[in-house]
Structure 1
């Protein structure tokens, strides 16, 4: 695993301007998730009917919603659940992808053929459509949305890992290690796992941003977190009714999703580019 850590450190060194901006944005987002009161000390659920539908102003920089809740405070306090849901969904997808990918890439030919066909069929289904089918069965809610997005993204991770594992397992250095009598588990730990897992670092970074968008989409459709939760997708769902009269209720939560996903995409592409170099 030291190989992966070393490569990540090499990526963070000498970031291009776009990568530096993305890294700063992600640092701010991480601070908002860990310590939201640093930016917005107020209560995201506190209502003030007298201030309902107030447009952006000095006292409420992002305006207020139909109950007079400050949208800036809600977006800041919604960072942790919104980003956390994306992280959890990605972790589930990668975990399932690791099991399927390693089992298919290193298992017997019959197992590889069976899992390979299953992975290809599931990968052919659009992620959001598959997630909608799963969440429709499990019912609405944040937990169901996380499981649905995680399960829907697993075939993509498994497909990448399977191809990488098969290539690494057939490499010369793995063959030499086996000829020298190195135990199988040491060959896996020293050679196969680090070299097969590294490409997933960049893909997973991209996947977190995509998962945040997809989970927010489920919440927007009413299948994820529900109002009055400050989760960004739920805020979009609540604001869509008033988009013609209170545009700020939709624009600012949507901008938070776009900025987070864009920053993660830039960093993920940077990692992928370093791997390809």
Structure 2
């Protein structure tokens, strides 16, 4: 059963990769093409996911929407891993007063839900795709800073860094050699799991009309456009929502074995 779940998750991730890089391989349609004679058609052999109120093919829009929906999460996680890792590692190995400052800032930011932090950023910068990407990054980065700080501090007092400096290795080089690799491994595991949360946050912001603007085929935008048609055309909202849920579940399913492997590797180190 576990192998079946992993195989299904891998197939979904593969589909998402193709949808991001070569959507034309999965559909020959145009996600923006309207057809007045095909308005609100239910799922069928011709239109697998039905059509929306403008006659656009929902399956084609879901496929092309994968790129905008997933890139926001990928960008946010990548920036959070790099910036959060640097800040957290410095706090973990720096003098205690630096660690205190970072810890207090973490306590303040992590008191707010991620979605609220993203909304605050957008309130300052204004709505738009770039604001959503930055908002999601700011929302998730405290978790990466905390993990990097805790890991670096544990390794700092484990004696490895002190032993290296006694042997003549410079302090920054000792931190780079003995602390950075294990911090990076922990952040990678968190990033894979956190990717799902990042794309859900981005889709939620787009659903509220704060992100990418219609008629762009982004999953949050598509769900927002279909919310007023739920009674007679449920498929407009259902299928982009299903794609979002399947992405989160598939990534989480594949992330668990990787997390265990990374944890085992850190323990051996």
**2:11 corresponding residue in structure 1:** 24
**Aligned residues of 1:120 and 1:155 also touching (Cα < 8 A):** no
Out of 153, 163, 169, the position equivalent to 1:182 is: 169
TM-score (norm 2): 0.93
**1:236 corresponding residue in structure 2:** 223
**Aligned residues of 1:18 and 1:266 also touching (Cα < 8 A):** yes
1:251 aligns with 2:238: yes
Structure 1 residue 21 displacement after superposition: 2.4
SS in structure 1 at match of 2:179: helix
**2:267 corresponding residue in structure 1:** none
Give matches, 1:4-23, under 5 Å.
16-23=3-10
SS in structure 1 at match of 2:13: helix
> How many residues were matched structurally?
263
**2:70 corresponding residue in structure 1:** 83
**Aligned residues of 2:31 and 2:60 also touching (Cα < 8 A):** yes
1:70 aligns with 2:57: yes
SS in structure 1 at match of 2:190: helix
**Aligned residues of 2:161 and 2:171 also touching (Cα < 8 A):** no
Structure 1 residue 221 displacement after superposition: 1.0
* Structure 1 residues not aligned, in runs of 5+: 1-14
TM-score (norm 1): 0.91
Give matches, 1:126-275, under 5 Å.
126-275=113-262
Q: Distance in 2 between matches of 1:241 and 1:39?
A: 28
Q: Distance in 2 between matches of 1:90 and 1:151?
A: 10
**1:35 corresponding residue in structure 2:** 22
* Structure 2 residues not aligned, in runs of 5+: 265-269
Out of 72, 95, 105, the position equivalent to 2:92 is: 105
**Aligned residues of 2:92 and 2:150 also touching (Cα < 8 A):** yes
Q: Distance in 2 between matches of 1:94 and 1:275?
A: 16
